[in-house]
Structure 1
């Protein structure tokens, strides 16, 4: 498929082609580590593509490239944007302000760790993505309250900054913040890693609901039960320094 696929395929949300990422260790004599080599992937609305593979296969690196945190060394990543005549933005060539705009309107991201703003309450932290999109503050806080309650975050914590919360409590706040805006593209990096079984089930339900409403989702889930519940397709990355191709079955295999 070529980049005009966004015009011919209304369901397509993300297209990655030939993604390579090499890290240069400047403090270690300029040593170079190949994290990704030739990864390609298409993701459509209503899909939850789970990235699988051994540690070091580049799963989190690939997610960060798709979110624009890392600039791919080679290859292209395009994100659907129907406001553009070509119906997409080439993320790998986009200016920083364009990436920020896409994150506000299109791409949600949940990492393993909450990056909390000091002295901002959990409720306001979760509501902020809605407020930044023009939603009335009272409505945003009400929607944040419902999501925090569903994620079993104790009400007594809502007015407190989450810096002193337990790891599981912080992660549930993090998930609420990442999901509240209902972005059409969601990137999830082990969102359930620090959660107990009951709360993993709640998060899995939320992910399935987002998928059924049409979100395109790419995620990493080390918990096998969660992976099986949310995935519509599993893409396996091989070890670093291998080359990859996408097969019809969605499996990335070494060339």
Structure 2
């Protein structure tokens, strides 16, 4: 991030209450230590501002770095270059640089600000689906009975059979696991949502339900960045698109 960009970001979240995310010149390089230090350039120079009530769809060919960019925004990957700032109203400057944040700051942001939904469900084994979906609310201080009632309503809307609610999702079908994952990611009403192909394993009917839930979140004021594998869903949810291109020289050797 240039000095000018840093100065602008320093005031941006204070001056614009709608701004939830600012990414500037984000790049990501993976070093292959087992292959003589060769590196893969996954992402180069991506910039984006996202405000409340927007749904930005990341588009581009396979290898353009769409999922890598989302993981950098969430803090799963640390960006090699550039900067990522996310709104945090507990701070005087109203934002935190997640690309350089301490782990406890990242965890706090994930609890209160940033929700993430991927196409894969990664949870503690043997925990029932209803408990998994309710947990983000319980962790934020919601009464457990209320949280479970809200989780049940969301699972029902997503057509997860009631007979599965008290079972662990490890034995569910791919589509059922994904719907549990979506319910868990959306239930807390985070003001910033990152969605990495959440509808990839779903049939057309359930894709439409998820699109409705995303649109309702956006109407409530959530800022959303997502990747969607089918054009119909992209058209249903997007307020605008960000086109990514594959890096010109993805593999570099030393």
C-alpha distance in structure 2 between counterparts of 1:97 and 1:86, whole Å: 18
Q: Which residue of 2 aligns with 1:70?
A: 77
The offset of 1:117, in angstroms, is 1.2
Matched, 1:198 2:205: yes
Helix, strand or coil at the partner of 2:20: strand
Q: Which residue of 2 aligns with 1:156?
A: 163
Cα offsets for 1:4-25 (capped at 9, x unmatched): 1101111000000110100001
Choose from 116, 126, 134 the match for 1:119: 126
- The runs of 4+ residues in structure 1 deviating greater than 4 Å are none
Calculate the aligned-residue CA RMSD, in Å. 0.8
C-alpha distance in structure 2 between counterparts of 1:58 and 1:241, whole Å: 12
Matched, 1:40 2:47: yes
Q: Which residue of 2 aligns with 1:217?
A: 224
Matched, 1:13 2:20: yes
How do 1:57-206 residues align onto structure 2 when only pairs under 5 Å count?
A: 57-206=64-213
The offset of 1:92, in angstroms, is 1.1
C-alpha distance in structure 2 between counterparts of 1:241 and 1:109, whole Å: 29
- Relative to the length of structure 2, the TM-score reads 0.94
C-alpha distance in structure 1 between counterparts of 2:156 and 2:15, whole Å: 41
Q: In 2, are the aligned partners of 1:36 and 1:241 still within 8 Å (CA)?
A: no
Q: Which residue of 1 aligns with 2:252?
A: none
Choose from 214, 231, 235 the match for 2:238: 231
Segments of structure 2 that go 5 or more residues without pairing to the other structure are 250-254
The offset of 1:199, in angstroms, is 0.2
C-alpha distance in structure 2 between counterparts of 1:152 and 1:117, whole Å: 22
C-alpha distance in structure 2 between counterparts of 1:88 and 1:241, whole Å: 33
Helix, strand or coil at the partner of 2:99: helix
C-alpha distance in structure 2 between counterparts of 1:125 and 1:111, whole Å: 15
C-alpha distance in structure 1 between counterparts of 2:63 and 2:33, whole Å: 20
Q: In 2, are the aligned partners of 1:168 and 1:195 still within 8 Å (CA)?
A: yes
C-alpha distance in structure 1 between counterparts of 2:64 and 2:213, whole Å: 27
Segments of structure 1 that go 5 or more residues without pairing to the other structure are 243-255
C-alpha distance in structure 2 between counterparts of 1:94 and 1:241, whole Å: 30
The offset of 1:240, in angstroms, is 2.0
